Chains A and B, each alone.
Chain A
């Protein structure tokens, strides 16, 4: 074993910001590494890549990435990324954000960006609660699970994120957990190279809040749980991939279709406008 000071990923991260704020046992660091690995493998020039996030623990990722990165207001990562993509269609725009940001406060933006098929990639880290603000329940918290704001168990039905994405019109929908590092990295790579609105959900441990209150153990115990209870079922109906508190986790690629994007369908108005200008 050699003691070293430089990591091969150091060119992609902002070294001066390390160590990051994510807790020991949190899955975010691993998910972030998988994203960087996919970015490296995809071969997309780094000056054409942009990473955007909203607020939350996952929202810290752009601050650690050594490419053009944007940390936007709560829930507004998708409108911001839409603007980026439409203003400069050459860019490969990725959103790296959490479930609370993308589906609770930003839920409406999500369904409409998917409906329009805007060419952006979404990586949603689902840890089933609002981790950064103290572990309140949100739109993905499974029925019956305990959080700071649901001490007797959550009695709201959660979203099935892959089903929402598929029903809204995403062209690529997949779900993995933090333990599936290789499959996750190749899935992110596939999504980065795919045209259209792609969505990847990553089930990730939150040992400090959600895991502790539901007695799921440390981050390591949660990863062991994912290893033993994940079932890979490619191309099943995402409707059947519901998540429960202590149930099976169905992972895999659920949707992979091709359809014209928002920019493909946009009529060329430049000619008309030119005529108008010359007439007046």
Chain B
């Protein structure tokens, strides 16, 4: 279940065309997750940054061993453990560990 995206979380305004608030959103609690990153595998293709449905990732200023900029979590960003970044990452560099299992 996907909670409503507030403006502050949405990366751009067109995001809202893709998501609507589910009718039974109040009954469900979203899981939360922690972003784990293997920094030196990243090639900064930015897939995870662009397609994170909550827009919680951004490009960092630091360099990894290969000279790319790995992503970092934006201040106050909350992961809902959808694991899209884990599936879309071409480099096996990012994954999510869930912190609560209240859903379902």
Contact = CB atoms under 8 A, between A and B. Distances in A.
Nearest to A29: B90
A219 B45 contact: yes
Given A1-B34, A24-B45, A25-B45, A7 B92 contact: yes
Interface string A173-189: 00000010110010000
Contacts of A29: 89-92
B13 to A, nearest CB: 15
A33 B92 contact: yes
B2 interface: no
B16 to A, nearest CB: 15
Interface in A1-49: 1-10, 13, 18-20, 22-30, 32-34, 37
Contacts of A219: 45, 47
A1 B37 contact: yes
B55 to A, nearest CB: 14
A157 interface: no
B87 A185 contact: yes
B52 interface: no
A27 B37 contact: no
B10 interface: no
A218 B49 CA distance: 14
A4 B46 CA distance: 19
Given A1-B72, A219-B45, A220-B46, A30 B34 contact: no
A220 B38 contact: no
A122 interface: no
Interface in B23-67: 34-39, 41, 43-47, 50-51, 66
Interface in A208-233: 218-220, 223-224
Interface residues of A, number: 36
Given A1-B37, A19-B43, A181 B68 contact: no
Contacts of B1: none
Contacts of B90: 22, 26-30, 32-33
Contacts of B37: 1-4
A5 B38 contact: yes
Given A7-B95, A220-B47, A223-B47, A24 B68 contact: yes
Contact of A33 (B36, B72, B87): B87
Chain B interface size band reads 20 to 34
Nearest to A36: B92
Interface in A148-206: 179, 181-182, 185
Interface in B68-102: 68, 72-73, 84, 86-93, 95, 97
A204 B51 CA distance: 16
B87 A3 contact: no
Contact of B92 (A13, A23, A24): A13
Contacts of A2: 34-37, 97
Given A1-B72, A2-B37, A181 B87 contact: yes
Contacts of A179: 51, 88
Contact of B38 (A7, A28, A182, A218): A7
Nearest to B73: A1
26 contacts: A1-B37, A1-B72, A1-B73, A2-B35, A3-B37, A4-B38, A7-B41, A7-B92, A8-B86, A13-B92, A22-B90, A25-B45, A26-B45, A27-B90, A28-B90, A29-B91, A33-B88, A181-B84, A182-B84, A185-B87, A219-B45, A219-B47, A220-B47, A220-B50, A223-B51, A224-B50
Q: Which 8 A-B pairs have the closest CB atoms?
A: A29-B90, A24-B43, A181-B87, A4-B36, A1-B73, A7-B92, A25-B45, A1-B35
